[in-house]
């Protein structure tokens, strides 16, 4: 049940993000006096709609996106001469740029606000310590809840307890979570390793026989770090949000650049350790959200992880949408910027404005890019269904 609640949370968050993306286009278009005739969430058959003034608002059957229909978006659109002054194409270039960029801006705004809420309302997680939460079983897949028939985890079998602080592994001192992970990786599955823990000020050594799991390489102990959450003040929350936004944006750009490399590894056995582990579909993101909501972790950690998943998705979508390829907003932006640059050069040369780009020439490119995006999206969904990623050790 908790898993389904997590999936539902992600789906609702995604639909809200789509609505706000389209609201960005819609509100800026209306502010500049453009005529917007439709505002819909989803595609396909209309499920529900209502008209307010000159705009029809509604919901389509397939909740996989949304759209705002603005009069005269391209040079080939048929527009009533009386409405031409209110068309998108009749407005100054700077206004068209703002309208086109407003969708991605809304994704970035959503991410920034959620990062601020995370820092101020939930707290910034510090998982670098060595105090651990003991998993009761060896889950069938990463972050899955324990089910009937799952074997007990090595940590639970050996008598480790949640709240224990690991101080050494095989006699080697450890001071942070990364060192614990490295120490576990240094031993093969099936080997017996001494773990010394601090339990209420008393040091206890337990002999643990490490297990193996099907969903990743290496030995498995069955512990996770206990996060300590420190809430930030409103001002420091802004600083944290800005810093984290930059970090996630940089990671998103890197992941975007690695997409061609990822394709051959999407169905590889060790996908998580390959470039194929750097990308995921909305199906994968929804499953991660469900897994973490159902996981045996504290409420702060659950909220933190869910918010970060929604933040990551919004930043990635915002950046991806600005890629200068039609039919993405970035492609339309590129057309507008090219038109204005061409007009500027014509003025310098004292020649007439060449006018709008002949969009008919770009239709084959736009269709080709659309087909590739749909094909890659379906491939990624298939990979997340049949070869899901493992998220933690």
84 as an active site residue: the answer is no
Contacts for 170 with CB less than 8 Å, ≥ 6 apart: 183, 186, 187, 193, 194
Buried b (16+ CB within 10 A) or exposed e, 200-233: eeeeeebebebbebebbeebbbbbbbbbebeebe
H, E, C per residue of the chain: CHHHHHHHHHHHHHHHHHHHHHHHHHHHHHHCCCCEEEEEEEEEEEEEEEEECCEEEEEEEEEEEEEEEECCCCCCCCCCHHHHHHCHHHCCHHHHHHHHHHHHHHHHHHHHHHHHHHHHHHCEEECCCCEEEECCECCCCCCCCCCCCCCECHHHHHCCCCCCEEEEECCEECCCHHHHHHHHHCCCCCCEEEEEEEECCEEEEEEEECEECCCCCCEECCEEECCEEECCCHHHHHHHHHHHHHHHHHHHHHHHHCHHHHHHHCCCCCHHHCHHHHCCCHHHHHHHHHHHHHCCCCHHHHHHHHHHHHHHHHHHHHHHCCCCCCCCHHHHHHHHHHHHHHHHHHHHCCCCCCCCCCHHHHHHHHHHHHHHHHHHHHHHHHHHHHCCCCCCC
Catalytic residue among 22, 56, 83, 339: 22
Contacts for 146 with CB less than 8 Å, ≥ 6 apart: 135, 136, 137, 139, 296
The residues annotated as belonging to the active site are 22
């Amino acid at each position: 049940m908790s898993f389904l609640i997590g999936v539902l949370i992600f789906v609702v968050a995604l639909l809200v993000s789509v609505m706000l993306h389209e609201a960005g286009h819609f509100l800026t278009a209306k502010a500049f006096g453009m005529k917007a005739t439709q505002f819909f969430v989803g595609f396909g058959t209309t499920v529900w709609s209502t008209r307010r003034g000159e705009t029809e608002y509604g919901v389509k059957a397939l909740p996989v996106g949304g759209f705002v229909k603005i009069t005269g978006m391209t040079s080939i659109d048929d527009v009533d001469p009386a409405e031409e002054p209110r068309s998108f194409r009749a407005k100054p270039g700077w206004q068209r740029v703002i309208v086109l960029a407003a969708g991605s801006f809304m994704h970035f705004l959503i991410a920034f606000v959620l990062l601020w809420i995370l820092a101020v309302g939930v707290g910034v997680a510090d998982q670098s310590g060595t105090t651990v939460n003991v998993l009761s079983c060896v889950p069938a897949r990463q972050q899955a809840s324990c089910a009937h028939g799952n074997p007990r985890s090595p940590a639970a079998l050996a008598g480790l307890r949640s709240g224990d602080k690991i101080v050494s592994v095989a006699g080697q001192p450890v001071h942070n979570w990364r060192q614990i992970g490295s120490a576990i990786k240094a031993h093969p599955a099936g080997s017996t390793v001494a773990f010394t823990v601090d339990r209420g000020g008393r040091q206890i050594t337990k002999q643990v026989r490490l297990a193996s799991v099907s969903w990743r390489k290496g030995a498995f102990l069955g512990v996770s770090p206990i996060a300590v959450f420190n809430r930030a003040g409103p001002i420091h929350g802004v600083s944290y949000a800005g810093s984290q936004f930059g970090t996630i944006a940089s990671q998103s750009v890197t992941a975007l650049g690695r997409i061609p490399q990822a394709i051959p590894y999407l169905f590889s056995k060790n996908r998580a350790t390959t470039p194929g582990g750097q990308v995921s579909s909305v199906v994968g993101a929804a499953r991660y959200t469900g897994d973490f909501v159902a996981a045996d972790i504290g409420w702060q950690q659950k909220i933190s992880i869910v918010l970060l998943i929604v933040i990551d998705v919004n930043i990635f979508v915002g950046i991806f949408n600005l890629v200068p390829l039609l039919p993405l907003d970035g492609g339309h932006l590129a057309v507008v910027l090219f038109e204005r640059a061409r007009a500027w050069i014509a003025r310098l040369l004292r020649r007439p404005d060449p006018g709008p780009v002949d969009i008919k020439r770009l239709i084959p490119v736009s269709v080709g890019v659309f087909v590739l995006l749909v094909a890659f999206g379906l491939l990624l969904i298939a990979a997340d269904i049949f070869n899901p990623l493992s998220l933690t050790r």
